[in-house]
């Protein structure tokens, strides 16, 4: 947690120095038929509830936290993430660089952290995460409007683990978003391959 504490303190100092003039706070909530992360179930195929909060300055700095129900093997747990970073754009290229600490209260041996970089290049998303405890992860994604909603496609490679792809369709429903997605994971580490059809309602 030392890296995260340093980042949080840095953001507070920046905000208090007058460099950041405005702060916005946002929240999110979702319920999903299964919590899928990089193609792998994190909740044993069961319904998962999640939510989080983000604080962002007009200078592009942000910090946030997110929590969701998770289940591994016979044990039940809560995943609680803390993250912070900086986002902006250079011309038509958007960027997001930050650090995330993923924790499982009561099961600290499973905690891990990553430093990440995301780019948006003419609508194509590029993401790379350098893992501190586990392998690195790289992903390419693309989305486009289709009918009343939008289609999202992604392909990712998780070092020492496996590859995954996602085909999803998001539909606005009032103040909510209904997401339908098919996910597929092919293991490189000897664990079982996985695939799932996931329904999520979020806001």
Q: Structural domain boundaries of the chain?
A: 2-143
Query: What pLDDT is attached to residue 190?
Result: 84
Quote helix, strand, coil % in the chain, to nearest 5. Answer: 10, 65, 25
Output the pTM of the full model: 0.87
Question: How confident is the prediction for the chain on average, in pLDDT?
Answer: 90
CB 136 within 8 A of CB 108: no
pLDDT digits (tens, 9 = 90+) for 62-92: 999 999 999 866 566 899 999 999 999 999 9
Query: What pLDDT is attached to residue 64?
Result: 97
Distance between CA 82 and CA 127 in Å, rounded?
18
Query: What pLDDT is attached to residue 76?
Result: 66
* Residues 6+ positions from 125 with CB-CB distance below 8 Å: 118, 119, 139, 140, 141, 142, 143, 154
pLDDT digits (tens, 9 = 90+) for 153-166: 999 999 999 999 99
Lowest mean pLDDT among 8-17, 83-92, 130-139: 8-17
Give me Rg for the CA atoms of the chain. Answer: 18
Decide: residue 22, CB within 10 A, 0-12 exposed, 13-18 middle, 19+ buried: exposed
The 8-class DSSP code of residue 192 comes to P
The helix or strand, by DSSP H or E, that contains position 15, with its residue range, turns out to be helix 2-17
Q: Is pLDDT larger for residue 63 or for residue 20?
A: 63
Query: What pLDDT is attached to residue 1?
Result: 47
Query: What pLDDT is attached to residue 110?
Result: 83
């Amino acid at each position: 947690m030392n890296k995260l504490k340093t980042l949080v303190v840095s953001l507070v100092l920046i905000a208090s120095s007058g460099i950041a003039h405005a702060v916005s706070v946002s929240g999110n909530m979702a319920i999903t038929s299964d919590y899928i992360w990089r193609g792998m179930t994190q909740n044993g195929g069961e319904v998962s509830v999640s939510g989080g909060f983000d604080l962002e300055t007009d200078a592009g700095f942000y910090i946030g936290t997110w929590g969701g129900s998770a289940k591994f093997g016979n044990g039940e747990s809560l995943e609680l993430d803390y993250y912070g970073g900086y986002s902006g754009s250079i011309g038509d290229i958007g960027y997001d660089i930050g650090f995330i600490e993923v924790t499982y209260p009561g099961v600290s041996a499973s905690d891990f952290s990553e430093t990440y970089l995301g780019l948006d290049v003419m609508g194509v998303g590029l993401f790379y995460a350098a893992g501190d405890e586990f392998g690195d992860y790289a992903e390419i994604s693309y989305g486009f409007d289709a009918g009343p909603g939008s289609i999202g496609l992604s392909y990712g490679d998780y070092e020492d683990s496996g590859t995954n792809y996602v085909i999803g369709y998001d539909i606005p429903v009032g103040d909510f978003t209904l997401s339908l997605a098919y996910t597929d994971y092919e293991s490189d580490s000897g664990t079982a391959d996985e695939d799932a059809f996931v329904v999520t309602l979020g806001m």
